[in-house]
Structure 1
Amino acid sequence: MRQIFYSNRQFLMGLMCKACLWIVLLGTLGCSDFVEVDPPKNTLVSQTVFDDPSTVESALANLYFSLREDGMVSGNSGFTTLLGIYADELDYYAFNGDIVQLYRHTVTPQNAVLLGWWTQGYQVIYAANDIITGLEASEGLSTMEVERYKGQALFVRAYVHSLLVGVFGDVPYITTTDYVVNTNVSRLESNRVYEAIVADLEQAVALMDGADILVGDRVVPDADVARALLARMALYTQQWELAAATAGEVIAAFPLEPDLDQVFLKESGETVWQFRPGNDLRNTQEANQLVIQFIPGQRFALTPSLLEAFEEGDDRLESWTDELSDTDGTLTLSYAHKYKALFNETASLEHSIVFRSAEQYLIRAEARAQLGNLEGARQDLNAVRNRAGLGDVNLVMQSELLEAIYRERRVELFAEQGLRWMDLKRSGRAAEMLSPLKANWEDTHVLLPIPESELEINPNLLPQNPGY
């Protein structure tokens, strides 16, 4: 029997660790090293953990560990693959029943993948709120330290809510660790969820701006990471001026990596935020899921419609995709090859990228086009195209330019964090693009169902999304 958020086990952990859920006894471990340790096994119960920067950093590191290992962001059930098959980026060849539902658009409210996304998402949000509460009561940290750490926790809270609202629509926006409040929470309309996300991100930027908190391979979020998400959220909510201005700040700090073959290496200059692989894997979950090593034996392959979307002469087709045939040459499949290094194949070459500046160029291009700044939009679009070996577009009609930007997003950002699905959903083109490809498509599939077990525990989450 589950509790919001959302299990008895999580509730008991909340009672045990009310001062700070998920704060880990990691010795002298700092945020730079969190990804190299095993999953946390111990917790601190005392408020005194918020009087020591190392223990607060360990608590935050635990949030990033959870995002990397479970749920919507990375790991085996992340948006990259599962929203890729829900949309039109990837075909699925394996036999997991819950994943087959996503691929075939036969999803039910009992789907275990969706329950995992929901529970893990709110588990991380609960932990972020617990950190915020502890920091606000801290007596041992400097004001600068409190602001820096609080900014990171606010970013995590906003980021996870942005993923939840993207697939479920109306969802609760949780800002407390009060069990009574949380077990009776209702869903907010999605526009109000986005308002809350933007407010958290603006506060996070203000708190972290100018703080020197980055460690190593851009694995710890800072003000620019919060700006990257803020620009994305502003685009999704049609706040064009905010989207253009905020993306511009990120672009100024992270110019495009000129070499396509360097974009997804851990040292890439355009990476805004990434996860370092853990548990001695050395390289990314994404490569191990997407790179086809044997046929049969593959799980995912690129769809013909995605391959057809690349223009002739687009260097990304060669650099970021590859193909493999079966032993008798009767079947050839293409796969995403942005990440090339497999688990334990070599030393650590690649980290899982969550935000990179190419997306910000395309965010600003779209926002500028919507604002009537067509020249600025063309400049941003052409910067991405030129890097891929393509010539400039010289379109003068706003509608044509916006369509070109949508096409560019498809081929630049494929197999990255479910961005293609979010684009289809927000632009109202999901039915147009997917109904010819998905035999079971229904217009209500722009939202996934709220997990049935959560509705049973908390009727305030009703009604269920339409169509389920």
Structure 2
Amino acid sequence: MSLAYLKTVAFFTSLALTLSLAACESFLDVQPRESVADNQTITDQKSAATALNGVYSALASGGYYGTSFQSIGYLGGDNIQWTGTQSQVQEFINHNVRADNSTISTVWSSIYVTINRANYVISKVPGVTDALLTEALRNQYVGEAYFLRALAYFDLARTFGGVPLVTEPTLTATSNQGLPRASQTETYAQVLRDLEEAELLLPNPSTVTTNDRYRATRKTVWALKARLYLYQGNWALAEDYATRLISDNTNYQLVTPFNAWFANSTRGTRESVFELFYNGTTEVNGHRGQWQPTANGGTRQWAPNEALVSLLTTAPNNAANGRTTLIAAVNGSSWYGNLYYRSPGSDPSYIFRIAELYLIRAEARAQQGKLPAALTDLNAVRVRAGLAASSAATQAAVLLAIENERRLEFALEPHRWFDLARTSRATALFKDPLNNTAPLPASRLVLPIPISQLQVDRALIQNEGY
């Protein structure tokens, strides 16, 4: 970890002590808010709850799902253009990200802050003695922390490849110096270990009377398992875990019309498996300012590119209340993204939607040669978007149809770059930034380790090609 990161941890540890003393609300009555876990503040049920809320707060921060991390998924694909002047942002679009890029430094540090807060909950909550902290509540808190740490390491692995695996609280400035990078395979194995722990600790869905879309549950664990197994090419298990959620059609459904899951300031619909809550005052989602035009109080620094606008505004993708509602235009010409539009910034950040589970299962089934079943899942998503059933007939055609469907279904969500990277399709679609006549090298499917990390810890080794 860098000195800057460790200072950040120390700052928030101090801040948490103040916040935990001031906290008076019941954990079950509040949405996640700013706080942090540490070994001094986790002493009873209330401080344990405050500490766990701090993990969610880090997850929702501007450096993580609040803005910066998601921008990697947007900008690295082929849907979005950058309208500003900062050359470091254009590096993602050009696939020429440098190790001194400020966004990757922010993302790395923000995700490790999330991990460190989760580590404190995992380490300290089991030892707390408080009659109010029942065994069921203790297991729930620790299970949620395991899930959040799993998600954090999953995001690090798919962005940077292998990373240092820190599973104990950071206590001093030198606690983690000299810790070597794990491989990407080893990092994904850590993700799975954490998910297995979370699944054991979180309540059985059959015993839960409500379906929480803002906090980790056993169903959220299944969603991440499905995504993890898809990335690893374990098609049978990806299909299995996706099916667990799709089959729960009491709680999860493809809502209609398409924009019913985000339009009209709605939140927490049956479309949602896991989304992050922002209240627009003390918890602000920074996406709106990046997407909305100046006429709406934004900067429109991210915008749909010509290719995406063309796809979404021409038949068959321009069905009323369909995916074309993801974008809008000022004076009919200046197009902008309209998924994040609430003022102030209280839009949710969407981490899992049931549509993704349908498309995960479709891809997993196609990879296993189950083409009719794959098409059934693909077409469920297409019909909801106002489209006719796919005419794909061969395995290759079905897989390409699923890829193209994911491109539009998640046009303004951070999937496109990671989809193209995990399948290595990016090497066919993009050019080598150093040689425009050659394909993008496979080494560019992960980003460089931030130079700020390499400078303070000689045990870290830079990714190949950077």
> How far did 1:283 drift?
7.8
Match of 1:427 among 423, 430, 440: 423
Deviation at 1:70, TM superposition (A): 2.5
- Structure-2 change in CA distance of 1:21 and 1:304 (3 Å): farther
**In structure 2, what is the Cα distance between the partners aligned to 1:22 and 1:173?**
30
Look up the equivalent residue of 1:125 and give its one-letter code.
I
Give SS of 1:191's match.
helix
Alignment of 1:36-185 (within 5 A): 39-40=34-35, 46=40, 49-52=42-45, 54-75=46-67, 77-79=68-70, 81-140=71-130, 141-177=133-169, 179=171, 182-185=176-179
1:226 to 208, 211, 221: 221
Distance apart, 1:72 and its partner CA: 2.5
Q: TM-score, normalised by structure 2?
A: 0.86
Q: Distance in 2 between matches of 1:286 and 1:214?
A: 33
Provide the C-alpha distance between the structure 2 equivalents of 1:372 and 1:50, rounded to a whole number of angstroms.
53
Which residue number corresponds to residue 260 of structure 1?
258
How does the TM-score come out when normalised to structure 1? 0.86
- Amino acid paired to 2:191: I
Q: Which runs of 5+ in 1 are unaligned?
A: none
- 1:375 maps to 372
2:260 is aligned with what amino acid? Answer: Q
Give secondary structure in 2 for the equivalent of 1:460. coil
Report if the CA contact (8 A) 1:247-1:364 is conserved.
Answer: yes
Contact 2:261 2:271 in 1 (8 A): yes
Relative to 1, partners in 2 of residues 1:434 and 1:22: Cα closer, same or farther, differing over 3 Å? farther
Match of 1:466 in 2: 464
After superposition, the Cα gap between the structure-2 partners of 1:82 and 1:370, relative to the gap in structure 1 and judged at 3 Å, is: closer
- Output the CA distance in 1 between the equivalents of 2:74 and 2:135: 43
Letter in structure 2 aligned against 1:51: D
Give the equivalent residue in structure 2 for 1:306: 308
CA offsets 1:334-354 (integer angstroms, 9 cap, x no match): 22223443327xxx6x42222
2:381 pairs with 1:389: no
Q: State the secondary structure of the residue aligned to 2:274.
A: strand
Are the counterparts in 2 of residues 23 and 43 from structure 1 also a CA contact under 8 Å?
Answer: no
Per-residue deviation, residues 76-112 of structure 1 (Å, max 9, x unmatched): x231x34312221211111234323333434221122
Whether the 8 Å CA contact 2:37–2:52 is kept in 1: the answer is no
Aligned to 2:327: 321
Q: 2:260 and 2:293 mapped to 1: Cα distance? A: 21
C-alpha separation between the residues in 2 aligned to 1:214 and 1:27?
26
Partner of 1:414: 411
**Structure 2 counterpart of 1:243, which letter?**
A
State the shift of 1:152 in Å.
Answer: 0.3
2:238 corresponds to 1:243 = yes
Residues 364 and 437 of structure 1: is their aligned pair in 2 closer, same or farther, counting only changes over 3 Å?
farther
SS at match of 2:309: helix
Deviation at 1:8, TM superposition (A): 3.7
Q: Aligned partners of 1:458 and 1:353: how far apart in 2?
A: 34
Q: Distance in 1 between matches of 2:18 and 2:195?
A: 22
CA distance in 2 between partners of 1:446 and 1:382 (Å): 30
Partner-residue secondary structure (3-state), 1:78: helix
Tell me how far 1:44 sits from its aligned partner: 7.0
Gaps of 5+ in 2: none
Q: Assess if the C-alpha contact under 8 Å between 1:32 and 1:216 holds in 2.
A: no
1:270-325 deviation line (CA, Å, top 9, x unaligned): 11111221352798533332133449953121112223445722233432222224
- Amino acid in structure 1 at the alignment position of 2:370: N
2:287 is aligned to 286
Say whether residues 1:335 and 2:336 are aligned partners: yes
Output the amino acid matched with 1:447. V
SS at match of 2:397: helix
Distance of aligned partners of 1:282 and 1:177 in 2 relative to their CA distance in 1, 3 Å threshold: closer
The secondary structure found in structure 1 opposite 2:55 is helix
What does 1:167-206 align with in structure 2 at a 5 Å threshold? 167-177=159-169, 179=171, 182-206=176-200
Distance 1:44 1:301, change over 3 A: closer
1: distance between equivalents of 2:400 and 2:66? 30
Identity %: 27
Cα deviation for residue 242 of structure 1 reads: 1.1
**Aligned partners of 2:116 and 2:168 also within 8 Å:** yes
